[in-house]
Amino acid sequence: MGTSPTPIGSDSTIDAGLPQTVEFDLARARRETPGCELVTHFNNAAASLMPQPVLDAVMGHLTNESLMGAYEAAAKANVGAVCDSLANLIHAEPSEVALFDNSTRAWNTAFDLLTLRPGDRVVASRSEFVNGSLTLEHAARQLGIEVEIIPCDETGQLSAEALRELMDERVKLIAVTHIPTNGGLVNPVAEVGRVAKDWAVPYLLDASQSLGQYPLNVKEIGCDFLSAPGRKYLRGPRGTGLLYVRSEILEQLKVPTPTQDAGTWLDDHRYVPYEGARRFEVGECYVAGRLGLGTAADYALGWGIERIWNRVQFLANRLRSQLTSLPRIQVRDLGVVKGGIVSFTHEYLAADEVMRRFSREKINVKASPGRQSRYDMDARGLDSVVRASVHYYNSESELDRFIELLAAME
For residue 190, the SS3 value is: helix
Domain limits of the chain? 23-50+304-407, 55-302
Q: Which residues, at least 6 apart from 370, have a Cβ–Cβ distance to it below 8 Å?
A: 377, 378, 382, 383, 384
Indicate whether 8 pLDDT > 70: no
Indicate whether 3 pLDDT > 70: no
Exposure letters 40-56 (e unless 16+ CB within 10 A, then b): bbbbbbbbbbbbebbbe
Query: 71-81 pLDDT, tens per residue?
Result: 999 999 999 99
| pLDDT (average), residues 152-170 | 97
Spatial distance between the Cα atoms of 299 and 113, rounded to a whole number of angstroms: 32
Query: 335-386 pLDDT, tens per residue?
Result: 999 999 999 999 999 999 999 999 999 999 999 987 878 888 888 889 999 9
For CA atoms 366, 369, 373, 376, the dihedral sign is: positive
Letter for the amino acid at 292?
G
Q: Mean pLDDT for the chain?
A: 92
| pLDDT (average), residues 10-18 | 41
Spatial distance between the Cα atoms of 138 and 245, rounded to a whole number of angstroms: 23
Indicate whether 17 pLDDT > 60: no
Q: What confidence category does residue 212 fall into, taking pLDDT thresholds of 50, 70 and 90?
A: very high
Tell me which of 19 and 82 has the higher pLDDT.
Answer: 82
Q: What confidence category does residue 6 fall into, taking pLDDT thresholds of 50, 70 and 90?
A: very low
Same fold across 23-50+304-407 and 55-302: no
Indicate whether 10 pLDDT > 60: no
User: Looking at domain 23-50+304-407, which CATH architecture does it have?
Assistant: Alpha-Beta Complex (3.90)
What's the pLDDT score for residue 257? 75
The answer to whether residues 44 and 232 touch, using CB atoms and an 8 Å cutoff, is yes
Spatial distance between the Cα atoms of 70 and 285, rounded to a whole number of angstroms: 11
Spatial distance between the Cα atoms of 319 and 279, rounded to a whole number of angstroms: 44
Query: 87-146 pLDDT, tens per residue?
Result: 999 999 999 999 999 999 999 999 999 999 999 999 999 988 878 888 999 999 999 999
| Residue 31: CB atoms within 10 Å | 14
Closest CA to 190 of 17, 331, 69, 12: 12
Instruction: Determine the topology of domain 55-302 in CATH.
Output: Aspartate Aminotransferase; domain 2 (3.40.640)
